[in-house]
Structure 1
C-alpha cells in the first residue's frame, strides 16, 4: 500500500487547492459498515474526527461532519428499492439498512469572519451530533461562529442551531432564503404535511423565534466579499447553494443537489423529502451540465466525506468524480 506523504498535496483540483486534512481520534461514534465481501461482516470500529481543509484564495474552507444516517431504499421515488440498492452498491454507499448519507458541513474563514454552512441534524437523525467536537478539533467553540448560512430548512441542515430549546450559536447571524422561511413557518402547510416533515416544521419555528439576527435572503446576493448565494430552488422552495470565490479560485457548496443514488446520470431519481420533485429534477438537469462545462469544484452535503468533487463528462455521460484529498499524518 502506498505511503502517504506527511505533507499535504493538491492533485487535479482546478479552482481549489487542498492544504490539509487529518483523522483526529475521538469524535465520531464507532462506525460499523458492511464489507464488500459479506453483508454480515463488519469493519473494525473506528472513532475519528475527519477534517479536510481547502484553500480558495484568501479563504480557508474546512470540511467537517456531524455524522451519518442510512436512508431506506424505499426513500427514492423513480427507482425500485432493488434498483436503489444496486446503485448504492456500485457507489460503495449501500448498507443493510439503506443508503449511507453523510452530513457534511463547511467552515469558511478569511481571517476576519467565520461562516458555517449548515449545522447538521445534531442527533435528531441517525448517528449524528459530532459537529461541536469537530469544531473543537480546529480550536473553535460555537460562540466563535459569526454567521451560519442554512441552505434549506430540512432538519438535517438546521438541527444543530437549537439544543435544549436554546440557540446553539449565540453570536451568529443567520442567513436563510425567504421562500424557505415562509414555507416552513406556514401552519397550514405544516397541517397538511406528512409525518416525516413535521420535525422540520417544528424546528423552523424555533429557529425563527430564537435567532433575531436571522436575515431572510431574497435571491442571489453576496454575504461578504467572495461568499455569495446561488439559487438552486427545487429540493425545497428556497434551496440555495453557496459560492466561495477569491483569487481566481472557487468552490460551490451545492447542498442537496447531488447525493448517493441521485446523481448526474440519474436526474429522474428523486428523494422522499423533496417538496417539488419536478422542480428538483429540472434544476438538476440545468445545473449538472453547467457545472461540468465550468469544471466547478463542488462540495456536497451527503456525499462521502469530505463531499468534494466535480461533475465531469465521460464519453458523453455526466458523472460525479470525487476530488483527490490527502490525510495529514
Structure 2
C-alpha cells in the first residue's frame, strides 16, 4: 500500500452537480459462500442502448477542474458477490434503496481532469458491452469536448467496463491520446495462457486488451507509482486485478483520489470479505481493502469510485468501528 499523506487526501470540497442520485453504501453480515457462478448479464437492460440523460458534476482541485461523467449503468446479479449469499446481498441492497429486480445497480463513472493545458480522461466505460451504457461520448460533447481532444487516458485496470470505449467499433476512439495502463495488467490480460484458462465472463476483457495493444501505438505500460502530469499521479491499488491502480489529483493543498474498483456499492466499505465475481485473486483484493479503508478513513480521503451512485464522490468513515461510505457534501459553485 502506498504512503498517502494527509495533504494528498484533503476533503470537504464543494461540488457543482447536475442530475443523477446521491446514495450511500452500507454493510453486510452473515456467513461466507464457498463460491459463485456467473449468470449472464442479460438480466440487465439490453446492452448497447445508451442512457437518455447526461448527468455532469464538477469539482475544483486547485487549478484542476474534475468533471464526473457516466457511460451508463448495469444491474449486477446478486450472485456476483462471493462472500455473501444472493439473499443477503439483496436484503442489504433493499435496505439501502439500491435493489433492482435483476441485481445491484452499478454506475460506470468516468472522470475528466482539466487544467487549461491538458485533458486527461480516467477510464473509458463499457461502451455498450454491458447494460445500459454508451453515453460517455455524449457526456463529453455536452462539455464541448470531442474524443480527439483528449490528451491522455488512464485505464485503472483492464476489465471491459473500464476500457470498452477505447475500441468501440474496432477503432482507436482517442487517436491523439497517450494511453497509460499498469504493466502488470497489460501482461496479464494479453497472456494467451491466462486467456485460455479464464472463465467465459472474462473473455471479453481479454479480447479487448488485445485490441487495445493493437490499436494504440501510444500505449505506455507503466511500472509502479509515477506522475503522469504535474499534479496527476498513479497510486498502486493492486488486488482487484494484478495491476489495478488509482489516480491522485492534487494541487493547491487539495486532492482527490480516484480508486476505481476498490469500493463496490452495498457491500463496501463495511465488509472486506465480500468480493466481486471478476476478481481473480480474492486474498489480494481483501488485503488491499483491509489496508486502504482504515487509512482513507483516518486521513479523511476525498474519494471518487467508479461504481458508486453518481457522481461517485465520498469518504470512507469509521463509524464506531464499522467502515461506511459517506457521500461527499456538495453545493452549487458560483
Q: Same fold (TM over 0.5)?
A: yes
Does 1:149 find its partner at 2:154? yes
C-alpha separation in 2, matches of 1:231 and 1:328 = 32
C-alpha separation in 1, matches of 2:89 and 2:332 = 31
TM-score, reference length from structure 1? 0.87
Does 1:299 find its partner at 2:304? yes
Residue 152 of structure 1 deviates from its aligned partner by 0.1
Residue matched to 1:186: 191
C-alpha separation in 1, matches of 2:15 and 2:107 = 22
Alignment of 1:198-277 (within 5 A): 198-277=203-282
Alpha-carbon displacement from aligned partner over 1:140-177 (angstroms, at most 9, x marks no partner): 00000000000000000000001211111110000000
Alpha-carbon displacement from aligned partner over 1:186-209 (angstroms, at most 9, x marks no partner): 001000100000000000000011
| 1:72–1:62 Cα change, 3 Å | same
C-alpha separation in 2, matches of 1:190 and 1:197 = 8
Mapped contact 2:234–2:247 kept (Cα < 8 A): yes
Mapped contact 1:16–1:250 kept (Cα < 8 A): no
Secondary structure of the structure 2 residue equivalent to 1:49: coil
Secondary structure of the structure 1 residue equivalent to 2:161: helix
Relative to total residues, which structure has the larger strand share, 1 or 2? 1
Mapped contact 1:66–1:120 kept (Cα < 8 A): yes
Mapped contact 2:13–2:330 kept (Cα < 8 A): no
Alignment of 1:159-170 (within 5 A): 159-170=164-175
C-alpha separation in 2, matches of 1:275 and 1:229 = 22
Alignment of 1:86-105 (within 5 A): 86-105=91-110
Residue 89 of structure 1 deviates from its aligned partner by 1.6
Mapped contact 2:10–2:302 kept (Cα < 8 A): yes
Q: 2:16 aligns with which of 13, 17, 20?
A: 20
Residue 93 of structure 1 deviates from its aligned partner by 1.6
Alignment of 1:116-155 (within 5 A): 116-155=121-160
Unaligned 5+ runs, structure 1: 1-12, 25-45
**Aligned length in residues:** 296
Residue matched to 1:5: none
Mapped contact 1:16–1:55 kept (Cα < 8 A): no
C-alpha separation in 1, matches of 2:96 and 2:113 = 28
TM-score, reference length from structure 2? 0.86
Secondary structure of the structure 1 residue equivalent to 2:14: strand
Mapped contact 1:22–1:328 kept (Cα < 8 A): no
Secondary structure of the structure 2 residue equivalent to 1:312: strand
Residue matched to 1:309: 314
C-alpha separation in 2, matches of 1:145 and 1:47 = 24
C-alpha separation in 1, matches of 2:12 and 2:212 = 33
Unaligned 5+ runs, structure 2: 1-8, 21-50
**Larger RCO: Structure 1 or Structure 2 (Cα < 8 Å, ≥ 6 residues apart)?**
2
C-alpha separation in 2, matches of 1:251 and 1:70 = 27
Residue matched to 2:289: 284
